[in-house]
Amino acid sequence: MTIGFLSLSNYAQEQITTELKKAYQEEKYDLIISEHSEKVEEYSAKAIYYVGMAYYMKADDNKVLKLMDLSIKKDNTNPDAYFIKGMTLNYMGQFEKAIEYFNKAIELDSRNPNYFSGLGDSYISQEKYEKALSAYLTATEKNKPIDRPFTMIPQIYAELNQPDKALQAFYKAKQTISKESDSYANILYNIGLYEFMNENYDKSEIAYKELIELAPNDYHSYAKLIQVYYRKKEYDKAKPLKEKLYQAYEQGKLTGNLKSMFCFDQFEWNGKLILAYERFAVKEGELYYKHIFYVPNENGETDFTIQTENSPISVELGDPKYILGMDKDGTHSTFRYGFEEDFNYEDLKNTVILVLDEKIKAGASSRTTKKKN
């Protein structure tokens, strides 16, 4: 009689576990919580685990910890319970405790890439980059590795100031991660950025073109590709990209630092990185700056600017649409150099460099309390 009762009890437990697993896979988290959370003390370790996972998906961290502890108490051989507890502790910022549980999961099953990825997350959150790198690299060596380690490894190399290894890791991530992944676009962006910094403009172009094709509304990448074409002196290729940005501006689609202007070129002068921006807005009937070259100080902050200025009075007098000006140390200066709308960029850039080298003098100067817009 007792044997029959135990057999029936085991069967019932198996049924409950199967039911919970199915409900969890169908994402019926609220149903699991409402119908099973009060009965968990009677359940098997695996059934408790699934109830805990429902709370995990609902981000109820304290409940998750309580249920994973109960599951482990009933069966301390399930690595997933240790893993989920580690992940929850990571979310709660208790990284040292999380490491203990990830290591326990790895001790029980060293084949699962998720466990090593979670361990890497604990270490990187503590800025222990070498240990994080080791954990993530191990995760990529396992069968069916997940995306996260591939996306984190290049970031760690960047933190360790190893840009060449970071770029290699981004390329490896590109080969591994699905194009449908949310991370794929970010990988392409970083490849384009690193290749640009390495002056490999053709490779940078390839990355940004693929990114724009993949995400046509990624307007920051349009600006980056424009910079590539300016470095290659292929200005005609930049024109349709500029038109796209202007259309997006008129439609109110641009955000952040693209909302009013975009960087179209950057170049070094005397060890300083000069950033060239173009404003979208045109202030009819008023003086406005159109192309602005930002010159940094030793701290990387803007020291002064050189810009093309549209003056309605000058235009009325038959002068070029833009004259060259400078705002420096509270003084606004203008130079006797004019540029029409279809100016040659090399001429403008070379003239700006002449101003930077102090080889040409201002035609007029005046004190000002603030910079013009």
The token pair at 166 is 């970071």
In CATH, what number does 181-253 get?
A: 1.25.40.10
Strand partners, 304: 295
Contact 39, 20 (CB under 8 A): no
pLDDT tens digits, one per residue of 132-178: 999 999 999 999 999 999 999 999 999 999 999 999 999 999 999 99
| Residue positions counted in the chain | 373
What's the distance, Cα to Cα, between the start and end of the chain in Å?
91
If you write DSSP's letter for every residue of 125-170 in order, what string do you get?
A: HTT-HHHHHHHHHHHHTSSS--HHHHHHHHHHHHHTT-HHHHHHHH
**What's the chain's average pLDDT?**
93
pLDDT average, residue stretch 262-267: 97
Output the pLDDT for position 373. Answer: 52
Tell me the backbone φ, ψ of residue 55, rounded to 5 degrees: -65, -35
Q: What percent of the chain is modeled with pLDDT above 70?
A: 95
Give, in order, the Cα–Cα distances in Å from 310 to each of 218, 227, 281, 305, 368: 30, 24, 12, 15, 18
Q: Where are the alpha helices (DSSP H) in the chain?
A: 2-25, 29-36, 45-57, 61-74, 79-91, 95-108, 113-125, 129-140, 147-159, 163-176, 182-197, 201-214, 219-231, 235-250, 312-316, 345-356
Contact 129, 160 (CB under 8 A): yes
Position 8 pLDDT exceeds 50: no
Output the pLDDT for position 4. Answer: 39
pLDDT tens digits, one per residue of 324-373: 999 999 999 999 898 988 899 999 999 999 999 999 988 877 876 554 45
Q: CA angle, 152 as apex, 131 and 77 as ends, to 5°? A: 60
β pairing state of 272-279 and 288-296:
antiparallel
Output the pLDDT for position 371. Answer: 46
pLDDT tens digits, one per residue of 106-125: 999 999 999 999 999 999 99
Q: Which residues lie closer than 8 Å to 44 by C-beta, 6 or more apart?
A: 13, 16, 17, 74, 75
Output the pLDDT for position 113. Answer: 97
pLDDT tens digits, one per residue of 79-102: 999 999 999 999 999 999 999 999
pLDDT tens digits, one per residue of 65-82: 999 999 999 999 999 999
pLDDT tens digits, one per residue of 294-331: 999 999 999 999 999 987 777 777 778 899 999 999 99
Position 217 pLDDT exceeds 90: yes
**Cα distance between residue 360 and residue 341, in whole Å:** 23
Tell me the backbone φ, ψ of residue 8, rounded to 5 degrees: -65, -40
**Cα distance between residue 280 and residue 257, in whole Å:** 12
DSSP 8-state class, residue 360? S
Range list for CATH 1.25.40.10 in the chain: 181-253
The token pair at 41 is 């003390």
Contact 152, 132 (CB under 8 A): yes
| Rounded-to-10 torsion of CA 249, 254, 256, 258 | -50
pLDDT tens digits, one per residue of 16-62: 999 999 999 999 999 999 999 999 999 999 999 999 999 999 999 99
- What would you report as the CA-atom Rg of the chain, rounded to the nearest whole angstrom? 30
Output the pLDDT for position 3. Answer: 41
Output the pLDDT for position 280. Answer: 95
264 vs 312, more confident: 264
Q: Which residues lie closer than 8 Å to 100 by C-beta, 6 or more apart?
A: 86
Output the pLDDT for position 348. Answer: 97
Strand partners, 269: 272
Name the pTM for this structure.
0.86
Output the pLDDT for position 283. Answer: 75
pLDDT band at residue 7 under the 50/70/90 scheme: very low
